[in-house]
Amino acid sequence: MNTNHMSALTEQPVINMSSSINLALHDSLQADERTMLIGEDIGPLGGVFRVTAGLLKTFGESRVVNSPLGEAGIVGTAIGLAMSGYRPVCEIQFDGFVFPAMNQITTQLAKLHHRSRGTIRLPIVIRIPVAGGIGAIEHHSESPEGYFAQTPGLRVVTCSTPQNAYSLLRASIDSDDPVIFLEPKSRYWDRGVVDPNLSMSIDTADLLCAGEDIVLIAYGATVKTALEARAILADKGIGAAVVELCSLAPLDLETLVSVVSSVGRAIVIHESSLTGGLGAEIAARVTEGAFYNLEAPVTRVTGFDTPYPPSRLEHGWLPNVERVLEAVEKTLDI
């Protein structure tokens, strides 16, 4: 589906997440001539996932820039462009390819604003397809959010539906801060209604569903897992609230602590490994803020402390509905 001019339609389109991100990029390029895209194969090919399809034809090669195969060069070039007044949006082809750019991201992009005492702003978005669930080969399924979330100076944002992918990416591009924008690749083909006029803050967590027995905290691909678990729990008479983290850095602790305090039990769900994962930080912060209201420890359902496995073993490695239900049962029994 060609979404290049979808925002001009009077009816809200039903599109998949990859198309909603394409629409967000189109609308941002159209809204501000300083915005430009840079990445490998984003031009005629339209990116590995075809997220940038059609944008080169519409905006030209000066604003949709095919880069050489070098992630450090992509981010380094974007930093120079931002210091010259542009608002670059970088695409990293796969999550496992971002690591060659980590020096640029952590020592330059994250620190220049602080180092310059606020005189330098770097309005750069780095888009990264992340996580597993598509049967990819080695280095094509990673969950690197923890590296970025613990780096002061970076905003880390993720999405789970076509609507919040559109709205959060538009807000990220409009931000004057550097944003790592994580796109769960297993959700690229999920479809939903997208209202281009619906704005969202990139600082928040959203209470998707209320519940009186337990809170399921999730982000990215695992939001759908949490919602599926909630539906099964509801049939058993168990009320589960679902909180989606749109911002991973900073965390919306006010929402998290408020919801968990009102319920008393919580589980954090994410694909990245258990040890040192973002769930540990969330559990610690929620425990500190909601300690006197907790009926049980905040627990986690995560990937295991191994690299992402071969594709045929993913089903047993990823945090699935069955593992969430087991964690709920244990937590409610305490």
Residues with a known catalytic role? 140
- Cβ atoms of 144 and 105 within 8 Å: the answer is no
Tokens 């981010």 -> residue: 75
- Cβ atoms of 266 and 217 within 8 Å: the answer is yes
Q: Which amino acid belongs to residue 219?
A: Y
Alpha-carbon distance of 44 to 57, in angstroms, equals 8
Phi and psi at residue 113, to the nearest 5° = -65, -45
Closest CA to 332 of 301, 295, 289: 295
- Cβ atoms of 271 and 246 within 8 Å: the answer is no
Radius of gyration of the chain (CA): 20
Alpha-carbon distance of 70 to 244, in angstroms, equals 33
Q: Look up residue 278 and give its two tokens.
A: 């973002």
Helix H or strand E encompassing 116: none
Alpha-carbon distance of 197 to 12, in angstroms, equals 10
Q: Look up residue 328 and give its two tokens.
A: 């709920």
Residues 6+ apart with CB under 8 A from 209: 227, 230, 240, 241, 242
- Cβ atoms of 16 and 162 within 8 Å: the answer is yes
- Point out which residues pair with 39 in neighbouring strands: 66, 91
Under DSSP, the state recorded for 280 is H
